[in-house]
Structure 1
Amino acid sequence: MSGSEKRSEVAVVTGAAQGIGRAICEVMARTGYAVCGLDRAFTDNNEEWEVRLTRFGARDAAAFPFDLNKIETHSETVSRIAERFGAVDILINNAGIGSPKRGDMLDLTPENYDATLGVNLRGTFFLTQAAARWMLNNGAKNGVNRSIVFVSSAGAEIASLERAEYCISKAALPMLTKLFALRMSAAGVNVFEVRPGIVRTAMTSAVAAKYDVAISEGIVPAGRWAEPDDIADAINALVSGAFRFATGSHVFIDGGLSIQRL
């Protein structure tokens, strides 16, 4: 694809206002996709965000206010995206929250457990369900690669006692990946899971000093934080069609954090 060409796919990214989600939108804009960002931080007027992505190279761009917790709005939101852009080809489930309060798992409250799983698992499942239904009811145009991506975490496999609810919510996403891969494969929709490691974002800013020390002591073999672009570039490659026979697969983007060592 030359720099003057535009991708024909419409990509939907949740948690698009900051951090990894913002980086995903920017990388996909540079690749020429039409990009729809969803985030509860957005308002009904997001012209600055939309103009910025268009300047990066997006074929089209729009940002919608959206709350994953409000599952009653999911089908309507998918329909609104399809009406605005003409299709829903790629869904990148990036939105998520960390543990509301880190601490001993024996002190974890039902409220914090429910809040974390409500966004990271329940909301993600039902938005994906709504998008998958739309995809199955509306065939892909010729040459379009359709994909669903779950952004989970190295915490899907690596236990962290001080944020049990977060790890539980992320550990369920590998199964969501497998289930949706099986359900959507006949329709040519590839499903992937990406597991970031220690990423420099607002979510990790409160514990940055702790992670700085851990990284300096070798917890990440690559010797540095992951940056949002590291995750975004990997997702951009997955949805490009280059991995079209790898549905149901996961990839760690963690600098070797998850590798077991003696």
Structure 2
Amino acid sequence: MADLSGSVALVTGASSGIGRHLVQGLAERGAAVAGLARNGERLAAAVQEVAAATGARTLAVPADVTDRAAVEEAVTRVREELGPVDLLVNNAGLIDAAEEPLWEADPDQWWSVVESHVRGAFLLSRAVVPWMVLRNRGRVVSLASGMGLRARPEYSAYSVAKTGLVRLTEALAGALEGLDVRAFDVAPGVVDTPMTRAMPMWRGHTDWTPPELVVELVAAIAAGELDHWSGRFLRAGADDPAVLRATTPDGDARQLRLRPHGDGDPLG
């Protein structure tokens, strides 16, 4: 188990689901953990449970990740009460209201899904990363999805949002090249959460990804064990952290690229 003692983690979407598991798992590994979510009451209860179970320093910070002022205020509070953030986990995000083609989707709800993932991760990164750069220390993890690599037409907003996150991570990693600040995409697989339970496509699904594997992968990143994978896509439950530690990716492996149509493809 990675030792994160002395570090500070900030997890968005922390009141339930994968975010709640991450708060618990990072705290168990010694990190001080701040949880951020819109529902302040539910968030406070979740974070208090973690503090009672682990003895870790925790902080509940209610905020909407799409609200620039709220995000900046939240990050300032975390820094003042827990210390500079060493690990940012962009986990918050909505899902399409229904399985339907994009022309049948409600435009405002569709856009709110994209905004929650992309604007949220952008605003959190914008508020946190400059402090990481100043200290030359930090890791950013965005919760990705296989839908960001191959779109599901009935979940167009979520697919677009997750693709945007992958590009955001690559842009961030490129801008941070040469520094001890790294950015990663981690797809959690299909974890049994209220969100996945609410999605018709997972009705009757039983082969869930254990959330502990998501925590293990994120903790390995936080501990600096997978730095050579910065800017790339990892998948909990499929990627073995031990194999990742021993493997160095070549070229654009695990990054989104056009696939050439043949040897003569001018864009190959």
Compute the TM-score of the two structures, normalised by the length of structure 2. 0.81
How do 1:230-241 and structure 2 match up within 5 A?
A: 230-241=213-224
Instruction: Report deviation, 1:185.
Output: 3.4
Instruction: Report deviation, 1:99.
Output: 0.7
Is residue 122 of structure 1 aligned with residue 110 of structure 2?
A: no
Instruction: Report deviation, 1:60.
Output: 1.0
Could you tell me which residue of structure 1 aligns to residue 69 of structure 2?
Answer: 72
User: Out of 19, 29, 32, which is 1:21 matched to?
Assistant: 19
Is residue 168 of structure 1 aligned with residue 131 of structure 2?
A: no
Is residue 242 of structure 1 aligned with residue 239 of structure 2?
A: no
SS in 2 for 1:158: coil
Residues of 2 paired with 1:82 and 1:253: CA distance? 29
Residues of 2 paired with 1:6 and 1:125: CA distance? 25
Is residue 203 of structure 1 aligned with residue 195 of structure 2?
A: yes
- Which has the higher relative contact order, 1 or 2, with Cα contacts under 8 A spaced 6 or more apart? 1
Residues of 1 paired with 2:43 and 2:198: CA distance? 30
CA contact (8 A) 2:114 2:157 kept: yes
Residues of 2 paired with 1:45 and 1:227: CA distance? 22
Residues of 2 paired with 1:89 and 1:242: CA distance? 14
Could you tell me which residue of structure 1 aligns to residue 129 of structure 2?
Answer: 132
Residues of 1 paired with 2:226 and 2:238: CA distance? 21
Could you tell me which residue of structure 1 aligns to residue 139 of structure 2?
Answer: 147
Distance 1:70 1:108, change over 3 A: same
SS in 1 for 2:132: helix
Is residue 190 of structure 1 aligned with residue 182 of structure 2?
A: yes
After superposing the two structures, state which structure 1 stretch, 228-237 or 118-127, moved more.
Answer: 228-237
Is residue 159 of structure 1 aligned with residue 156 of structure 2?
A: no
Give the gaps of 5 or more residues in structure 2: 240-268
Tell me which amino acid in the other structure corresponds to 1:192. Answer: F
CA contact (8 A) 1:96 1:119 kept: yes
Compute the TM-score of the two structures, normalised by the length of structure 1. 0.82
Instruction: Report deviation, 1:45.
Output: 8.8
> How many percent of aligned residue pairs carry the same amino acid?
28
Residues of 1 paired with 2:18 and 2:42: CA distance? 22
Could you tell me which residue of structure 2 aligns to residue 226 of structure 1?
Answer: 209
Could you tell me which residue of structure 2 aligns to residue 7 of structure 1?
Answer: 5
Residues of 2 paired with 1:157 and 1:49: CA distance? 32
Give the gaps of 5 or more residues in structure 1: 217-223, 257-262
Distance 1:6 1:197, change over 3 A: closer
Distance 1:243 1:45, change over 3 A: closer
SS in 1 for 2:92: coil
Tell me which amino acid in the other structure corresponds to 2:128. Answer: A
Alignment RMSD (CA, Å): 2.4
**Structure 1 stretches of at least 4 aligned residues deviating more than 4 Å after TM superposition:** none
How do 1:100-111 and structure 2 match up within 5 A?
A: 100-111=97-108
Distance 1:19 1:45, change over 3 A: closer
Distance 1:58 1:117, change over 3 A: farther
CA contact (8 A) 2:139 2:183 kept: yes
Instruction: Report deviation, 1:87.
Output: 1.2
User: Out of 88, 92, 96, which is 1:95 matched to?
Assistant: 92
CA contact (8 A) 2:186 2:235 kept: yes
Distance 1:82 1:255, change over 3 A: same
